[in-house]
């Protein structure tokens, strides 16, 4: 009986020690570029409108700055390429 209890404890302990896989956080800019239709300039404008309306209130401000920077770069590249 004691061995069985120790075995159960060991199994629980191993289960707790396993590394939990955390879901990868999607980049806001990459999500917009991939999942939203339109030009980079249109996506940038939409991003700015949503941000101004508080749509990204729960997002990290650094991530938002990076997303806006990336969208600006994509829009500039798109403008220079055409």
**Res 76: pLDDT:** 92
Distance CA 33, CA 53 (A): 20
**Res 21: pLDDT:** 65
Distance CA 10, CA 4 (A): 10
Helices marked H in the chain: 2-17, 28-35, 40-52, 61-81
State yes or no: pLDDT of 74 exceeds 80: yes
Q: Are 28 and 59 in contact (CB under 8 A)?
A: yes
**Res 28: pLDDT:** 76
* CB atoms closer than 10 angstroms to residue 47: 22
* CB atoms closer than 10 angstroms to residue 44: 23
């Amino acid at each position: 009986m004691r061995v069985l209890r120790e075995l159960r404890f060991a199994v629980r302990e191993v289960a707790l020690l396993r590394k939990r896989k955390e879901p990868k956080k999607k980049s806001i800019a990459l999500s917009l570029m991939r999942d939203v239709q339109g030009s980079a300039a249109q996506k940038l404008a939409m991003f700015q409108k949503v941000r101004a309306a508080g749509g990204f209130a729960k997002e990290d401000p650094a991530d938002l700055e990076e997303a806006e920077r990336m969208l600006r770069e994509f829009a500039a590249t798109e403008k220079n390429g055409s």
